[in-house]
Amino acid sequence: MGNLSGNERGLIVVVLAAGALVVLFVFAGLAVDVSRAYVVKGELQKAADAAALAGAGELYELSPSAPPKLSWTNAESAATNFIGKNVVDNRALTDGQVVAGYWNLASPPSSTLHPQGTVPGRCSSTGAECNDNSDCTSTEVCVQIYAPAVKVTVSKSPGNNAGPLPTVFARVLGWNEFEVTGDAIAVSGFVGAVPPGLAYPFAITSCVVNDYFSQIPLPNPPIEVTDDSVYHLKNGTDVSPGQWTNLEPGKSASAETLKGYIENLLDPKDGTPSPATGKGDPVFLDPGTKAVLYLETQQLINAGRGLVYMPIVDCTIAPGTVMQIRGYVAFQLTSTTTSSMTGHFVATYTIPPGTGPGGGMGNFVSAPKLVK
């Protein structure tokens, strides 16, 4: 440029500046198109999340005469219907893809569902494949390895929801449209995890659970279970329905600790929340009657809070030992004495928030939960 005149050099500067402004405007416009695409993608993702949760909430049919029954059809219909309740890019969604199958609880998050014919469980002691408790020995429960799940995919793409998304400024770079997608997977299953403050500190045995829920239809009125009576006989040997537990693997907790757990169930402002527990966690079975706990439990019943959630352990229990949680069961406490309590299993209940799938099969399914 050393041989150019001042006017020529000025002209070149003007041309370069004009070119830079054009590039700047193109990229600014591209940012507008990309930002809009991200907003739409976020809306699609929220729609997919909501529809998947709606589907997972209908995976099980609840009946007063039978344990929860899996229904793929109900789940897929609920998810499909919920898609149309969402608005994306100022338009109601009109279509989406819904698939129901099994989610592997042990695998890292992925988009893969196993087919509906997958054998979902393993027996708690032998590890044999099982579809329900009847496939296991009488002392085990069928613990879910694969949880029922619903996958929902919604997109603005050719032929779907008035898509794809047209661009304005990105056309300069050859991008006339964007295809945008949201997808989600939600699960529900027999409860394998509970949040702090939910579990009642009494471990019930799989023998009691299996024997009761093998009766179809379930007894009406339900059979009452008393923790100091002989409820079941196995090969001529008395089987205890269960035993108090501190819900932790360490040393035996004092009766006051367990009383604090029950007080917290009575009123969350009082007592101490029981620890969060899950399938496979070791828990210590406390020895002793612990009369104060029966008195506290009667207050729970009197306050209308007698529906509790107990951890399940394998059949043969021995106070003063550690056993693994196999799942949870919903149980309605009805009365106590100073040394015993009576109640019955329930077939209908309110699903508490914060529960997760993966437990032994019984009467208690988890709240719908997004896993992807």
> If DSSP states are collapsed to H, E and C, what string results for 299-363?
HHHHCCCCEEEEEEECCCCCCCCEEECCEEEEEEEEEECCCCEEEEECCCCCCCCCCEECCECCC
Structure tokens at 111: 């988009």
Shared domain for 171 and 256, answered yes or no, is: no
Q: Based on the structure, what is the number of domains in the chain?
A: 2
Shared domain for 21 and 100, answered yes or no, is: yes
Shared domain for 171 and 271, answered yes or no, is: no
Q: Does 242 fall in a domain?
A: yes
Residue ending a domain, among 174, 192, 210, is 192
CA distance 137 to 31: 63
Question: How many Cβ atoms from other residues are within 10 Å of residue 3's Cβ?
Answer: 5
| pLDDT(199) > 50 | yes
Contact assessment for residue 301 and residue 167, using Cβ atoms and an 8 Å cutoff: no
DSSP string, 52-75: HHHHHTTSEEEETTEEEEE-HHHH
Closest CA to 244 of 285, 216, 206: 285
> Domain span at residue 210?
196-351
Higher-pLDDT residue of 115, 8: 115
Closest CA to 246 of 298, 197, 284: 284
Structure tokens at 44: 């699609």
Cα three-residue angle 17-19-24, rounded to 5 degrees:
95
Q: Which helix (H) or strand (E) holds 270?
A: none
**pLDDT value at residue 38:** 86
CA distance 317 to 242: 7
Residue ending a domain, among 149, 174, 192, is 192
Residue 371 amino acid letter = V
CA distance 127 to 67: 23
Q: 154 - beta bridge partners?
A: 182
Residue ending a domain, among 149, 165, 192, is 192
Q: What percent of the chain has pLDDT over 90?
A: 47
Under the banding of pLDDT at 50, 70 and 90, the label for residue 243 is: confident
Q: Does 2 fall in a domain?
A: no
* Model pLDDT for residues 255-305, shown as the tens digit of each residue: 889 999 999 999 988 899 999 999 999 999 887 778 889 999 999 999 999
| pLDDT(68) > 80 | yes
CA distance 192 to 101: 19
Q: What percent of the chain has pLDDT over 70?
A: 84
Across 325-354, average pLDDT: 88
Shared domain for 112 and 16, answered yes or no, is: yes
Shared domain for 177 and 275, answered yes or no, is: no
Shared domain for 82 and 216, answered yes or no, is: no
Structure tokens at 160: 């779907």
Closest CA to 204 of 31, 110, 328, 105: 328
Three-class DSSP category at 155: strand
**pLDDT value at residue 2:** 54
Three-class DSSP category at 185: strand
Describe the crossing of helices 255-266 and 291-302 by its angle, rounded to 10 degrees: 0
The residue written with tokens 């509906």 in the block is 116
Shared domain for 38 and 131, answered yes or no, is: yes
Q: Does 116 fall in a domain?
A: yes
**pLDDT value at residue 26:** 54
CA distance 247 to 275: 7
Shared domain for 244 and 187, answered yes or no, is: no
Lowest mean pLDDT among 14-23, 105-114, 240-249: 14-23
Residue 290 amino acid letter = K
Q: Does 367 fall in a domain?
A: no
**pLDDT value at residue 299:** 95
Residue 264 amino acid letter = N
Q: Does 356 fall in a domain?
A: no
Q: Does 368 fall in a domain?
A: no
Under the banding of pLDDT at 50, 70 and 90, the label for residue 231 is: very low
| pLDDT(164) > 70 | yes
Q: Does 98 fall in a domain?
A: yes
**pLDDT value at residue 312:** 92
Across 7-20, average pLDDT: 50
Under the banding of pLDDT at 50, 70 and 90, the label for residue 233 is: very low
Shared domain for 279 and 174, answered yes or no, is: no
Q: Does 222 fall in a domain?
A: yes
Across 183-195, average pLDDT: 94
CA distance 321 to 332: 26
Q: Which helix (H) or strand (E) holds 92?
A: strand 91-92
Shared domain for 37 and 177, answered yes or no, is: yes
Describe the crossing of helices 72-83 and 6-56 by its angle, rounded to 10 degrees: 140
Helices (H), 57-139: 72-83
Mean model confidence pLDDT for the chain = 84
Shared domain for 317 and 173, answered yes or no, is: no
Q: Which residues contact 203 (CB under 8 A, 6 or more apart)?
A: 242, 243, 244, 245, 283, 285, 310, 311, 312, 313, 317, 323, 325
Shared domain for 128 and 207, answered yes or no, is: no
